[in-house]
Structure 1
Amino acid sequence: MKAIAVEPGAGEPALVERPRPEPEPGEALVRTLRVGIDGTDHEVIAGHHGNLPAGADRLVLGHEAVGVVEEPNGTELEAGEFVVPTVRRPPGRSNEFFERGEPDMAPEGEYLERGIVGAHGFMAEYVTSPAEYLVSIPPELAELGFLVEPISISEKAIEHAVATRSAFDWTPETALVLGNGPLGLLTLAMFESVLDIDRTYCLGRRDRSHPTVELVEDLGATYVDSRETSVSEIPDAHEAVDLVYEATGHAKHAFETVDALAPNGVGVLLGVPEPWEFEVDGGRLHRELVLHNKALLGTVNSHRGHFEAAIDTLSQLPEWFTDELVTGVYDLDEYTEAFKDGDDVVKTAVEFDAPAGGF
């Protein structure tokens, strides 16, 4: 079978031949339909993130996937059922995080991640997975099923942000997304279309003619150009916000978020920055957090419940939004196009197959 693999840090993804996998007991064989590409894939390709499976010289990419069950193999799944796979797997042994259904809370070294950390991903014509890590998705949503994984990341982030405020009456009226990439845009759409937050903002570094900026404004949000207004300056330029969602990996934004928050606000950090030393006024930030009941938290990955919530969210997103968000779905013979950046690129995917009759 064909797969897309990479030697991290040593070049571009390549189309390779691999044996078709055979499912073990408790596993199903899944025929891959589409796999999305995001910033993590590019970090893996560049060698900045992730690592190879034991004994492998290349890593099969892909963690945002949707497929169809080819062989249930005695599981409770049905042949022809559309599924989205979760990403984390036990590191050769079970542990307390997986046993209680919270693999997303496992620390480094206590998990593998398909297509990222120590395990082959889903950019192959066929993959196998334990049934417990395959989440059913309605046929009418399968075409966009590769968006479920990134949405699940935001489902968890929002859930945990709300949990930090659960000790008192807190209903966010304003929210700020840092980053106008696909993850930031999906989260902004959630704020606007699903959570119905009154006033939303999105900060980026794109000219206003860029399609992502047009998407921000079409959603009804206010675009903030970080080259003109820093995160710390947003309260003066616009207003302090109740919720900040950081999806840039720009280390300074973690500290600037404290300034952007309104009293009782919470900032959730998802970006993974490279090492970077710089000076901050730690005393002032400490005072802001304490005297105004602000909170910062970090979050990564998601579990099955977040995937299920993400499928529900996907069903509520406006069709015009997903049409404009997904700027390219490429067949295997043109897969390299899916990894290219450009002014007209927002979100791309590789199509390995299509259901009978098409999507």
Structure 2
Amino acid sequence: MRAMTVVPGKADSAAVTEVAEPPESDGSVLVEGVLVGICGTDVEIVSGAFGRSADATRMVLGHESLGRVIEGPAGSGLNPGDLVAGIVRRPDPVPCPACARGEFDFCRNGLYSERGINGVDGYGSERWRVDPYYAVPVPPELGRLGVLVEPASILTKAWDQVDQVGARSWYEPKHVLVTGAGPIGLLAALIAAQRGYAVHVLDRSDQGPKPALVRDLGGEFLTELADLKAAPDVVIEATGVGQVVVACAELLPPAGVLCLTGISPSPDSIDVQMDALTRQLVIRNAALVGSVNAAKRHYADAVDVLLAADRSWLDRLITRTVPLADWPAGLVKEPDDIKVVVDLRA
């Protein structure tokens, strides 16, 4: 069968490759691959920046998945024809205290694996297998939008972290700033709008579909932080750009929360007056928290978020679909791209 593959650590090795059928050791649920989303992590793996295969050879890429069940074991609740998304991370084999409690997104010893990223083949093949525990049911009414479950889970986890930090004190946020209007930023803004917060989204470019998507959420689109009219109670930072992170940290009001979800591939460093910034954060009881990956419960929350959203708005996030036969074309960003997906059946 065909698959999206790459040699981890080797730049520009992306290819369509014939691979063996998925082994039963991957799980008892056999799935037909439908769609896989491409994100910045995939681009970095293809560039050779990181990624690790189980046997140091080619790895099947793809962690943002949507598939259709071919075979599901009795008692799994999964039947032929059901749509599913696969959870990305697997707990370490030790396991650490966090992994032992199902919080593998907080693995303490770094021995976890991740489908299509770290030590385990991904979901970018014509067929894949998964254990029922790691198969997230996708309601049929979501259809192709089920490919957004995994990226949405990143944000439901991030908002979970924000809520837990905010709960240290009286917590009733009103203004939310999201930095970066890519898929992660727009999904963060979607959740903020669903919660009834005033939403502001910052992006360096006001060209293409992003401003309209923000406005259609009832939000304000900005290209300069100076245009922000109110201090944000919560910032969801999705760019990973150091200058943006520092500028947002300086904006936080008393008990404000800044959640970092982006990692910049750039090696650039910036000069920061840390003493002054630390003083501001301490005096204001402000908090910076990092958030990556998601636990199983966040995937279920992501399905709920997508079901509550306007389908036509979500559909506009998927701006381009490329066939498996030419999937590397999806790695090359086009001007109006937001979310590019690969059709594993084409």
Q: Calculate the TM-score normalised by the size of structure 1.
A: 0.89
What CA distance in whole angstroms lies between the structure 2 residues aligned with 1:93 and 1:142? 37
Residue type of the alignment partner of 2:207: S
CA contact (8 A) 1:151 1:186 kept: yes
Query: Does residue 325 in structure 1 map to residue 310 in structure 2?
Result: no
Per the alignment, residue 100 of structure 1 pairs with: 101
Per the alignment, residue 121 of structure 2 pairs with: 120
What CA distance in whole angstroms lies between the structure 2 residues aligned with 1:110 and 1:20? 26
Query: Does residue 200 in structure 1 map to residue 199 in structure 2?
Result: yes
RMSD (CA atoms): 2.0
Residue type of the alignment partner of 1:313: V
CA contact (8 A) 2:92 2:107 kept: no
The answer to which of 91-100 and 321-330 deviates more is 91-100
Q: Deviations over 1:116-149 (max 9, x none)?
A: 1121110001111221111111111132111011
Per the alignment, residue 72 of structure 1 pairs with: 72
Give 1:250-265 correspondences, 5 Å limit: 250-265=241-256
Q: Deviations over 1:234-277 (max 9, x none)?
A: 6xx52211000011121233322221222221000011235443
SS in structure 1 at match of 2:36: strand
CA contact (8 A) 1:62 1:114 kept: yes
Counterparts in 2 of 1:322 and 1:342: CA distance versus 1, 3 Å = same
Per the alignment, residue 110 of structure 2 pairs with: 109
Shift of 1:10: 2.1
CA contact (8 A) 2:16 2:325 kept: no
Query: Does residue 271 in structure 1 map to residue 270 in structure 2?
Result: no
CA contact (8 A) 1:26 1:73 kept: no
Q: What is the aligned-residue identity percentage?
A: 34
What CA distance in whole angstroms lies between the structure 2 residues aligned with 1:73 and 1:350? 28
Shift of 1:317: 1.2
Q: Deviations over 1:276-309 (max 9, x none)?
A: 4332111221121122121110011001100000
Counterparts in 2 of 1:353 and 1:262: CA distance versus 1, 3 Å = same
Per the alignment, residue 145 of structure 2 pairs with: 144
What CA distance in whole angstroms lies between the structure 1 residues aligned with 2:75 and 2:126? 21
What CA distance in whole angstroms lies between the structure 2 residues aligned with 1:72 and 1:221? 42
Per the alignment, residue 210 of structure 1 pairs with: 208
Residue type of the alignment partner of 2:212: E
Shift of 1:12: 4.9
The answer to which of 38-47 and 69-78 deviates more is 69-78
Counterparts in 2 of 1:220 and 1:200: CA distance versus 1, 3 Å = same
Shift of 1:103: 0.5
What CA distance in whole angstroms lies between the structure 1 residues aligned with 2:309 and 2:292? 23
What CA distance in whole angstroms lies between the structure 2 residues aligned with 1:284 and 1:269? 20
SS in structure 2 at match of 1:330: strand
What CA distance in whole angstroms lies between the structure 2 residues aligned with 1:136 and 1:331? 24
What CA distance in whole angstroms lies between the structure 2 residues aligned with 1:54 and 1:12? 17
What CA distance in whole angstroms lies between the structure 2 residues aligned with 1:177 and 1:122? 29
What CA distance in whole angstroms lies between the structure 2 residues aligned with 1:28 and 1:34? 17
Q: Aligned match of 1:283 in 270, 275, 289? A: 275
SS in structure 1 at match of 2:170: coil
CA contact (8 A) 2:180 2:203 kept: yes
Counterparts in 2 of 1:254 and 1:108: CA distance versus 1, 3 Å = farther
Per the alignment, residue 357 of structure 1 pairs with: none
What CA distance in whole angstroms lies between the structure 1 residues aligned with 2:92 and 2:28? 17
CA contact (8 A) 2:3 2:324 kept: no
What CA distance in whole angstroms lies between the structure 1 residues aligned with 2:26 and 2:312? 42
What CA distance in whole angstroms lies between the structure 1 residues aligned with 2:26 and 2:94? 16
Structure 1 regions of 5+ residues with no counterpart?
355-359
Give 1:223-262 correspondences, 5 Å limit: 223-225=221-223, 229-230=224-225, 233=226, 237-262=228-253
Residue type of the alignment partner of 2:46: I
Q: Calculate the TM-score normalised by the size of structure 2.
A: 0.93
SS in structure 2 at match of 1:314: helix
